[in-house]
Amino acid sequence: MPNFSLKSILLGLSIAGSTVLMAAPVTELKPADLAAFVAKHPQAVIQFTSADSACGFCVGADKTFDQVAAAYDGSSIVFARVQWSPWQKFPEFGLAIRSYGIPAHVVFKNGNEIGNANGQHKSAQELGEKIKRLTSQPAAQAAAPVPTPVPSVPAPQAAPAPKALSAAEQALIKLQARAQILSALGAYCRVEFPATGQAYQDALVAWMGPRRAALGDADRLKRRRVSANDDGAIVALEFGERSGMEVWQTQQLGISSNERPSAADCMKLAQGIRGLSPEPAHQ
């Protein structure tokens, strides 16, 4: 098991919505292979960088990108990297890239570039948040031809704008985010410290029990609310809940978010779950 801190565990969860903590591979591509790779995968995140040490901003960028990719293991989104040297001699990629410097991180959907997170980032969390926002955007589509209106038939009315998430719906999203965070921490504790992990699992099962119906409602809600506006609102709620849970761990339980959790930390978490408020953070 890698040396995960609590912060990295929560980062991985908030980026991918998954409790899988094993590293996802980053495919190393030659520039000439980029176009075929992007065309093959419905969603791809590509890092453009250089191993040339003269590119100061490139130093360490590969490790930051690898940390973000690790959060997507098991996801349909694939990660790849294109490197060249010397850094200032940009190669031919076989497709147009809207980037004027490196390191660059470009998101593709259905073969189309939908955005980028370029430049040097202070942390994997910062880069991961940008990539999550980009992958939540819909792919660009060609505009459909406008039919000639038939005489005497009124033109169709525009579809009403989607309603904002209600307070009850927001509470469901945050409850699901909290459950995923607790499950991710439980997965870590069970693998690293089986004896303590079982105590955590028992506490988690007790916490989940009365909330299973609401968690099912949250899952159905997310499958139903799929517009770009909904995606943005849901991502914001999930990140807000992650931040609130990090405060709970550090300030209420006294667990560092920057160090690898110990068996004692897992026991603190198990005991903390029993006293955790039933309502999600940031109501």
Query: How confident is the model at residue 1, as a pLDDT?
Result: 40
Residue ranges making up the domain that contains 195: 167-274
For residues 175-185, average pLDDT: 84
CB 97 within 8 A of CB 106: yes
The answer on 109 and 40 residing in a single domain is yes
Over range 194-216, report the average pLDDT. 86
Q: Do residues 12 and 88 both lie within one domain?
A: yes
Q: CA torsion, points 60, 64, 67, 71, in degrees to nearest 10?
A: -160
Check whether residue 13 and residue 130 sit in a common domain: yes
pLDDT at 93 over 50: yes
123 with 180, same domain: the answer is: no
Q: How much is the average pLDDT of 77-82?
A: 92
Do 211 and 113 reside in the same domain of the chain? no
What does the pLDDT read at residue 228? 62
pLDDT at 5: 61
| Residue 54 counted as domain residue | yes
pLDDT value of position 18: 38
Instruction: Give 15 or 118, the one with higher predicted confidence.
Output: 118
Sign of the torsion formed by the C-alpha atoms of 187, 24, 15 and 232: negative
* Token pair 């990108």 in the structure block, residue: 65
Q: Which two tokens stand for residue 90?
A: 């940009």
**Residue 47: per-residue pLDDT:** 92
Instruction: Judge whether residue 137 has pLDDT over 80.
Output: no
Same domain for 187 and 119: no
- The whole-number pLDDT of residue 81 equals 94
Which residue has better confidence, 148 or 245? 245
Buried b (16+ CB within 10 A) or exposed e, 66-95: bbbbbbbbebebbbbbbbbeebeeeeebee
Most confident range, picked from 14-18, 205-209, 273-277? 205-209
What's the pLDDT score for residue 80?
Answer: 94
Within a domain: 250: yes
> What per-residue confidence (pLDDT) applies to 281?
44
Looking at the 3D structure of the chain, how many domains does it have?
Answer: 2
Least confident of 139-143, 199-203, 206-210, 273-277: 139-143
The confidence band for 157, taking pLDDT boundaries of 50, 70 and 90, is low
pTM of the predicted model over 0.75:
no
pLDDT at 235 over 50: yes
Euclidean distance between CA atoms 267 and 160, whole angstroms: 50
> Are 189 and 130 in the same domain?
no
Residues contacting residue 101 through CB under 8 Å, at least 6 positions apart: 57, 118, 119
Q: What is the mean pLDDT of the chain?
A: 77
Cβ burial of 54 (10 Å; 0-12, 13-18, 19+) is exposed
Question: Do 241 and 199 share a domain, yes or no?
Answer: yes
- pLDDT of the residue at 82: 93
**pLDDT at residue 28, as a whole number:** 92
Q: Return the higher-pLDDT residue of 208 and 280.
A: 208
**CA dist., res. 15 & res. 115, Å (int):** 17
Asked if residue 91 and residue 16 are part of one domain, the reply reads yes
Mean pLDDT of 163-180: 87
Q: Contact 197/273 with Cβ under 8 angstroms?
A: no
Q: How far is CA 206 from the centre of its chain?
A: 28
Q: Using alpha carbons only, how large is the chain's radius of gyration in Å? A: 22
In this structure, what token pair is assigned to residue 227? Answer: 């517009």
- Verify cis geometry, omega within 30 degrees of 0, for the bond prior to 86: yes
Query: 161 lies in a domain?
Result: no
Mean predicted confidence (pLDDT) in 5-9: 62
As a whole number, mean pLDDT of residues 28-43 equals 90
Give a yes or no: residue 158 inside a domain. no
